[in-house]
C-alpha cells in the first residue's frame, strides 16, 4: 500500500466561523487557497454544522478535465433543455435550483463559464446559499466576481509549511507507487470523470476499484467514481503519452456509446471524447453536438466539433455552425473563408437564407465591409421567391442602414417589415430594435417604447435588447427622466450578468447616462473595461465605447489618456459605426478642450451638431448643442434654441434655461 500524501492543511478555526457567518449574512462564503490545504475537508465540516437548516444540500464537484464542458459539473442536478440559447437555458437552470437549498461547490475554479455564470446568478438572486472552494488565480471571472462584488465572504487559507512543488512531488510519488490495477483506474478517470461504478469496473475490474478505494486514490459515492483529489488525475495524465490517452479514450467511448448517452451534457461529453479517439461518432451526431455547444455559448468547442465533422464530410450544417462559432469569436476572416466554400447556386431557398444571413452579418460587422454586405443582401434578395424571405432580408438591411447612419432609409425599411404579415420573429426583432433606436436619435420620442416592446415581444432579444434599450435610455434622458434611464441601463447590464459581450454593452449604455447626468468619473471605469471587451467582437458598440471614453476623459481633463483613447476611436470608426459619427466629433471636442484649445473644441462640437443634423439625428444634435454651450461656443445658445424647436423635450428646455441664465 502506498504511503498517504502528507497534506499540510489549515486549522478549522476561525475558517468555520467565517463560513457560517457568510452563509447567514450574505449569499454564502468562499474558501480560497492552493490545492491540498484542506478546503474540501473544511467545507464538509461547515456542511455538518449548517446543513440541517436547509431543505436540501447539494454538492457540485468540478472536474480536472482538460477542458470543462457547459454545465458539466451540474449534470446530476440539471436537465439542460434540448432547445433554447444561453440566456434561456440559464434562466431555466436558475429557476430549477433557486429553491433555498445549500449549494456546495468544490474546486469552483475548474467550472466551465456557463456553470460559473449560473453560480453568480444564483448568488445575486439570493435564492440559494453557496459554500465554495477555489484557487484564486485560476477562477473564472464569474467566480472571482462573487467575492469582488461582495456577494460572498472570502476566507483565505495559507497554512505555514505548504509548498506547491513539494506537494506535487508527494502526489506523483503516491501515484507512482500505486499497484498497476489501481493506477489503471486513475488513468481511466483522467480522460472522463465521474464514471459509474459499473463502467469503471467493466473498463478495469471490480478488484481494481476496491484496491484503488482502499488506497485512498478514488472516492465512490452516489454520483459515481472520481479521483479522491484532482491532483491524482493531473499526475497520471502528465505521465501518459498521446497513444495511451487515445487508447483510453477509445475504450471509454466504446463503453459509453453502448449505453447511449442521455441528455445534452452527456452527448457533448461523448462527442468531445470521441473526436480524439479511434471510435468516431456518426457525422450527424457530431454536427448536433456542435450546434448544442454553439447555442450554449461554447464557441471554441462548437468550432472544434464542427471542424471534426467537416474533415470527414463537408456539409452545409457543419459549415454554418463553424461559421457562426468563428464569427462570434471575432474571427471574421476565418468565418468568411468557411462560409465562402458553400455554393449558393446549389441551395434551396431555406438553405440559402440560412447561409446568407450569417454571411452578410459577418461581412458587415466582423470584416468591417458594410458596402459588400449591403450589396450581398440585395443580390440575395433577388434570388429568393417568398415574401417572408424578402422581409427577413429587409429587416437585416434596416439594421445595416441604421449602423451606417442612414436613419431615414433604416426607418422606412423597418416599418415596412413591421407592417408585413409575412415577417417572422427574427425579422420583427431586427426591425423593431432598429426602429426604436432610430426614433430616439431622430427625436421621435413618443414612438420609442412601443417599438422597443414590439422588438422584445418577438422573443428574439439577444443583443437586440441593447439596441432597443439604447433607444429607450436616450428617450428617457431627453424627456427628463434620467433616474429611469439609469435604472433601465443597469437592469440591462444586470440581466447580462457576467456574460459577454452583453454586459459590456450594458455598461456602455450605463456610462452614456452617467456622462449625461454629470457623473463622468463613474463612467470611466465602466467604459475602460467595456472598450477592451468589445474590441475583438466587430460590433459597432466597440467604437462607441472608445468614443464615450475619450469624451469622459476629456471632460475630466485627462489630456494624455483622452488623446490616446480618441486615436483608438478614430482608428476603429468606419461606415459600420457611422451612426455614432456625432459621438466621435464630441470626443474630439472634449479631448481638444482638455488640451486648452478652445477654438479647436468649438470647431469640433459644431462638427458634432452638423453631423447629427445631416443624418437626421436631431435628438443627438440637441445633446451636442448643450455640450457646445459648455465648451464656450459663442453660437451655442442660438443653436440650442433652434434645436429645441425641432425636438421639444424636457432636456432641451432645461439646457436652454440654464444657458440663457448663465
- At 265-286, the pLDDT tens digits run 999 999 999 999 999 999 999 9
**pLDDT attached to residue 97:** 94
**Lowest-confidence segment of 171-180, 251-260, 600-609 by average pLDDT:** 251-260
Q: How many CB atoms lie within 10 A of CB 634?
A: 8
Give residue-wise pLDDT tens across range 4-61.
787 777 778 888 999 999 999 999 999 999 988 889 999 999 999 999 999 999 999 9
Model pTM?
0.84
Assigned superfamily of 283-385: Tetratricopeptide repeat domain (1.25.40.10)
Average pLDDT over residues 221-245: 88
pLDDT over threshold 80, residue 500: no
SS (H, E, C) 431-500: HHHHHHHHHHHHCCHHHHHHHHHHHHHCCCCCCHHHHHHHHHHHHHHHCCCHHHHHHHHHHHHHHHCCCC
On the question of pLDDT at 261 being above 70, the answer is: no
Tracing cell 467537416 back to the chain, one arrives at 310
The structural domains of the chain, with segments of one domain joined by +, span 15-156, 164-240, 283-385
Is the pLDDT at 462 greater than 70, yes or no? no
pLDDT at 628 over 80: yes
Q: How confident is the model at residue 497 (pLDDT cuts 50, 70, 90)?
A: low
Query: Residue 409 — pLDDT band, cuts 50, 70, 90?
Result: very high
pLDDT of residue 392: 95
Question: Where does residue 560 rank: exposed (0-12), middle (13-18), buried (19+ CB within 10 A)?
Answer: exposed
Contact 554, 594 (CB under 8 A): yes
- Overall average pLDDT of the 307-334 stretch: 91
Quick one: average pLDDT of 215-232? 90
CATH architecture observed for domain 15-156: 3-Layer(aba) Sandwich (3.40)
pLDDT tens for 511-532 read 999 999 999 999 999 999 999 9
Amino acid at each position: 500500500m502506498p504511503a498517504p500524501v502528507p497534506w499540510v492543511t489549515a486549522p478549522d478555526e476561525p475558517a468555520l466561523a467565517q463560513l457560517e457567518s457568510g452563509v447567514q449574512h450574505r449569499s454564502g462564503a468562499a474558501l480560497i487557497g492552493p490545492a491540498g490545504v484542506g478546503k474540501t475537508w473544511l467545507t464538509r465540516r461547515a456542511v455538518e454544522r449548517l446543513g440541517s437548516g436547509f431543505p436540501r444540500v447539494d454538492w457540485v464537484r468540478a472536474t480536472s478535465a482538460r477542458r470543462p464542458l457547459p454545465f458539466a459539473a451540474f449534470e446530476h442536478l440539471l436537465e439542460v433543455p434540448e432547445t433554447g440559447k444561453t440566456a434561456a437555458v440559464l434562466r431555466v437552470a436558475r429557476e430549477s435550483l433557486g429553491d433555498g437549498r445549500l449549494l456546495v461547490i468544490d474546486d469552483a475554479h475548474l467550472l466551465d463559464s456557463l456553470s460559473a455564470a449560473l453560480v453568480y446568478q444564483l448568488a445575486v438572486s439570493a435564492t440559494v446559499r453557496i459554500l465554495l472552494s477555489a484557487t484564486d488565480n485560476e477562477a473564472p471571472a464569474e467566480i472571482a466576481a462573487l467575492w469582488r462584488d461582495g456577494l460572498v465572504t472570502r476566507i483565505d487559507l495559507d497554512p505555514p509549511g505548504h509548498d506547491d512543488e513539494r506537494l506535487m512531488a508527494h502526489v506523483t510519488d503516491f501515484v507512482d507507487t500505486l499497484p498497476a490495477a489501481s493506477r489503471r483506474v486513475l488513468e481511466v478517470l483522467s480522460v472522463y470523470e465521474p464514471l459509474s461504478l459499473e463502467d469503471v469496473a467493466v473498463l478495469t475490474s471490480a478488484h481494481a476499484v476496491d484496491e484503488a478505494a482502499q488506497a485512498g486514490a478514488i472516492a465512490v459515492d452516489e454520483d459515481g467514481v472520481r479521483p479522491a483529489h484532482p491532483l491524482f488525475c493531473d499526475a497520471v495524465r502528465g505521465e501518459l503519452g498521446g497513444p495511451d490517452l487515445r487508447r483510453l479514450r477509445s475504450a471509454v467511448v466504446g463503453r459509453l456509446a453502448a449505453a447511449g448517452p442521455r441528455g445534452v451534457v452527456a452527448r457533448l461529453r461523448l462527442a468531445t471524447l470521441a473526436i480524439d479517439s479511434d471510435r468516431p461518432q456518426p457525422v450527424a451526431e457530431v454536427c448536433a453536438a456542435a450546434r448544442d455547444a454553439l447555442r450554449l455559448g461554447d464557441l471554441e468547442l462548437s468550432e472544434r466539433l464542427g471542424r471534426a465533422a467537416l474533415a470527414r464530410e463537408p456539409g452545409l450544417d457543419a459549415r454554418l455552425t463553424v461559421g457562426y462559432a468563428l464569427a462570434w469569436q471575432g474571427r471574421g476572416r476565418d468565418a468568411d473563408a468557411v462560409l465562402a466554400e458553400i455554393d449558393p447556386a446549389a441551395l434551396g431557398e431555406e438553405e440559402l437564407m440560412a447561409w446568407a444571413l450569417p454571411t452578410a452579418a459577418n461581412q458587415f460587422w466582423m470584416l468591417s465591409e458594410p458596402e459588400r454586405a449591403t450589396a450581398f443582401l440585395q443580390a440575395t434578395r433577388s434570388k429568393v421567391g417568398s415574401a417572408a424571405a424578402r422581409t427577413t432580408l429587409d429587416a437585416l438591411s434596416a439594421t445595416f442602414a441604421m449602423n451606417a447612419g442612414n436613419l431615414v432609409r433604416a426607418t422606412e425599411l423597418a416599418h415596412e417589415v413591421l407592417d408585413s404579415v409575412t415577417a417572422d420573429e427574427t425579422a420583427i426583432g431586427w426591425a423593431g430594435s432598429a426602429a426604436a433606436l432610430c426614433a430616439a436619435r431622430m427625436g421621435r420620442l413618443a414612438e420609442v417604447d412601443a417599438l422597443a416592446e414590439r422588438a422584445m415581444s418577438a422573443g428574439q432579444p439577444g443583443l437586440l435588447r441593447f439596441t432597443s434599450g439604447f433607444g429607450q435610455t436616450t428617450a428617457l434622458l431627453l424627456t427628463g427622466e434620467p433616474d429611469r434611464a439609469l435604472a433601465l441601463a443597469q437592469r440591462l447590464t444586470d440581466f447580462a450578468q457576467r456574460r459577454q459581450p452583453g454586459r459590456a454593452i450594458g455598461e456602455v449604455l450605463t456610462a452614456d447616462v452617467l456622462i449625461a447626468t454629470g457623473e463622468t468619473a463613474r463612467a470611466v471605469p465602466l467604459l475602460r473595461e467595456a472598450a477592451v471587451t468589445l474590441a475583438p467582437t466587430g460590433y459597432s458598440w466597440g467604437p462607441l465605447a472608445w468614443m464615450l471614453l475619450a469624451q469622459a476623459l476629456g471632460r475630466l481633463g485627462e489630456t494624455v489618456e483622452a488623446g490616446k483613447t480618441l486615436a483608438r476611436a478614430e482608428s476603429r470608426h468606419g461606415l459600420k459605426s457611422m451612426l455614432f459619427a456625432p459621438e466621435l466629433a464630441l470626443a474630439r471636442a472634449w479631448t481638444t478642450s482638455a488640451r486648452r484649445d478652445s477654438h479647436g473644441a468649438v470647431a469640433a462640437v459644431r462638427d458634432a451638431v452638423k453631423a447629427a443634423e445631416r443624418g437626421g439625428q436631431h435628438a443627438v444634435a440637441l445633446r451636442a448643442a448643450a455640450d457646445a454651450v459648455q465648451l464656450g461656443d459663442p453660437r451655442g445658445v442660438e443653436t440650442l434654441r433652434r434645436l429645441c424647436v425641432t425636438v421639444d423635450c424636457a432636456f432641451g428646455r432645461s439646457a436652454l434655461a440654464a444657458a440663457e441664465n448663465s
